[in-house]
């Protein structure tokens, strides 16, 4: 006999199922929308970061320069009859700059105004004239038209980064200096040129002379030491743990500690380097050798984890086939498993190195925060690093260091993007799907 309630009950069940499906579909749409919103917000923040840093740092790649007619007079420099390299290096070349400025602006007579006039040109201009004379002593007794760096205050005014509509008491550059700047501009003696000094000089107290080369070389040496230590040790440790180590309580403990070390704050590794490498072993302070060793300690867990994952991704059939044709376990790993896992290993190593390149805290603890002007020649010379250089410039009170901080960040980001792009390309080129 047919149940009269069957059709209404079936319709009610269908309605409940339809309502549940509707809620499920709406929840799925909300989840997708939240995912799209999260990705969009991340891209927006990244774009704001890049645009902000780019706009603030792009002006540091050009530098205001002033063309002066320099009379290389031996008496003005303070040279005697001795024209050797040592005597030439001790000369007062800044006096040549002052003499040229006085000749250009003969109406400036008072001592205070002359001091302000001399402030148009960088205090390091004399060093560039000294290098010119040391490179070619024959310029003594001649007159040369030389482009010299303007002071950081003039540079900020020319680039439009310093306001000139404020009262004179609130400006670093007064009305008289602005008039001199306009005179120089009208006589084609003032230009903004590509800032070679930013890429060719070491650090300096004067923003217009400060460069990143010393820090860049220090970072390069530290990365080379880090790679030479962390990569082979990390790969060998991963091979042993994944392919040969017996599954015991001790190996489990080691694996847990490796995973924990990957999450340890980087400053802890800096303290470890300070206590062991500097205080115990007596290695040179503020040297890329110690910096690379500390960064290797920090990178090692990342390389081990990535290498183990890459080895684990190789199918067991590859090992079984190699062993079946008579290969030893070591030959199986070196000739078959390791080459197939190498793309993943390289990717993990590059990502770990990129993290080490941008880290500052461990380098601060081992003294790589020193003021270094000279370019390091080896891994034991005193050096700084690019992240540390950014930290030091960001803490400087001069306005001109703000743009140089942003410019150094741009250079660091370019290196980090290049390293991560290399990792992606290696992955795509050598990755094999099983």
Same domain, yes or no: 333 and 225: yes
Please indicate, yes or no, if residue 206 is contained in any of the structural domains: no
Q: What is the pLDDT of residue 366?
A: 85
Same domain, yes or no: 177 and 225: no
* 150, 168, 201 - which closes a domain: 201
Please indicate, yes or no, if residue 365 is contained in any of the structural domains: yes
Same domain, yes or no: 411 and 355: yes
* 144, 177, 201 - which closes a domain: 201
Give the residues of the chain that fall short of pLDDT 70.
1-6, 430-434
Please indicate, yes or no, if residue 389 is contained in any of the structural domains: yes
Same domain, yes or no: 171 and 293: no
Q: What is the pLDDT of residue 4?
A: 54
Same domain, yes or no: 283 and 403: yes
Q: What is the pLDDT of residue 434?
A: 55
Count of Cβ atoms closer than 10 Å to residue 393 Cβ: 24
Residue with tokens 């403990």: 253
Task: Please state whether beta strands 190-194 and 143-149 pair in parallel, antiparallel, or not at all (unpaired).
Answer: unpaired
Collapsing DSSP to helix, strand or coil, 68 comes out as: strand
Q: What is the pLDDT of residue 41?
A: 95
Same domain, yes or no: 183 and 217: no
Same domain, yes or no: 31 and 80: no
Whether residue 362 contacts residue 273, with contact meaning beta carbons closer than 8 Å, is answered with: yes
Same domain, yes or no: 50 and 26: yes
Q: What is the pLDDT of residue 6?
A: 58
Please indicate, yes or no, if residue 207 is contained in any of the structural domains: no
Phi, psi of 203 (to 5 degrees): -70, 160
Residue-range definition of the domain harbouring residue 36: 6-58
- Number of domains present in the structure of the chain: 3
| The pair of three-digit structure tokens given for residue 342, joined into one six-digit string | 């190498």
Whether the full predicted model's pTM is greater than 0.75, yes or no, is yes
CATH number, residue 368:
1.10.3720.10
The sign one gets for the Cα dihedral 196, 201, 203, 209 is: negative
Same domain, yes or no: 243 and 309: yes
Q: What is the pLDDT of residue 375?
A: 87
Give the DSSP letter of residue 375.
P
Please indicate, yes or no, if residue 380 is contained in any of the structural domains: yes
Residue spans of alpha helices (H) in 240-379: 249-261, 266-273, 288-313, 316-324, 329-332, 338-357, 361-365
Q: What is the pLDDT of residue 431?
A: 67
Sheet holding 190-194, edge to edge: 143-149, 62-71, 190-194
Residue with tokens 């390069």: 220
Give the Cα separation of 295 and 349 in Å (integer).
Answer: 12
Please indicate, yes or no, if residue 336 is contained in any of the structural domains: yes
Count of Cβ atoms closer than 10 Å to residue 33 Cβ: 10
Please indicate, yes or no, if residue 208 is contained in any of the structural domains: no
Please indicate, yes or no, if residue 1 is contained in any of the structural domains: no
* 37, 58, 79 - which closes a domain: 58
Same domain, yes or no: 139 and 219: no
Same domain, yes or no: 76 and 151: yes
Q: What is the pLDDT of residue 433?
A: 59
Same domain, yes or no: 125 and 272: no
Give the Cα separation of 198 and 31 in Å (integer).
Answer: 48
């Amino acid at each position: 006999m047919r149940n009269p309630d069957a059709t209404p009950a079936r319709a009610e069940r269908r309605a409940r199922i339809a309502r549940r499906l509707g809620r499920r579909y709406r929840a799925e749409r909300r989840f997708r929308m939240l995912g799209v919103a999260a990705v969009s917000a991340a891209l927006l923040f990244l774009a704001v970061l890049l645009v902000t840093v780019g706009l603030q740092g792009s002006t540091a790649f050009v530098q205001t320069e002033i063309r002066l007619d320099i009379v290389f007079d031996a008496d003005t420099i303070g040279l005697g009859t001795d024209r050797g390299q040592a005597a030439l290096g001790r000369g007062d070349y800044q006096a040549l700059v002052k003499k040229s400025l006085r000749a250009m602006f003969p109406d400036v007579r008072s001592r205070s105004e002359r001091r302000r006039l001399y402030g148009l040109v960088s205090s390091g201009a004399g060093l560039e004239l000294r290098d010119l004379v040391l490179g070619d002593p024959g310029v003594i007794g001649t007159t040369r038209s030389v482009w010299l760096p303007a002071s950081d205050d003039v540079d900020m005014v020319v680039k439009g980064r310093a306001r000139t509509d404020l009262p004179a008491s609130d400006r670093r550059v007064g009305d008289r200096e602005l008039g001199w700047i306009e005179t120089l501009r009208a006589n084609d003696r003032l230009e903004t040129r590509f800032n070679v000094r930013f890429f060719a000089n070491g650090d300096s107290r004067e923003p217009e002379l400060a460069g990143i080369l010393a820090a860049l070389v220090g970072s390069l040496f530290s990365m080379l030491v880090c790679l030479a230590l962390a990569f082979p040790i990390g790969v060998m440790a991963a091979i042993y743990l994944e392919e040969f180590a017996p599954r015991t309580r001790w190996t489990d403990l080691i694996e847990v500690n490796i995973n924990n070390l990957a999450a340890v704050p980087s400053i802890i590794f800096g303290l470890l380097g300070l206590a062991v490498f500097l205080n115990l072993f007596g290695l040179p302070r503020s040297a890329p050798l110690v910096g690379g060793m500390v960064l290797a300690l920090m990178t090692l867990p990342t390389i081990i984890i990535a290498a183990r994952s890459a080895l684990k991704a190789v199918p067991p059939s590859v090992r079984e086939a190699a062993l079946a044709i008579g290969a030893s376990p070591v030959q199986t790993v070196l000739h078959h498993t390791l080459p197939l896992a190498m793309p993943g290993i390289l990717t993990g190593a590059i990502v770990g190195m990129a993290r080490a390149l941008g880290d500052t805290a461990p380098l601060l603890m081992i003294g790589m925060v020193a003021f270094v002007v000279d370019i390091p020649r080896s891994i034991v010379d005193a050096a700084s690093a690019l992240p540390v250089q950014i930290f030091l410039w960001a803490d400087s009170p001069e306005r001109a260091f703000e743009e140089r901080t942003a410019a150094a960040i741009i250079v660091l980001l370019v290196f980090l993007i290049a390293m991560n792009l290399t990792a992606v390309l290696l992955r795509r080129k050598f990755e094999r799907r099983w």
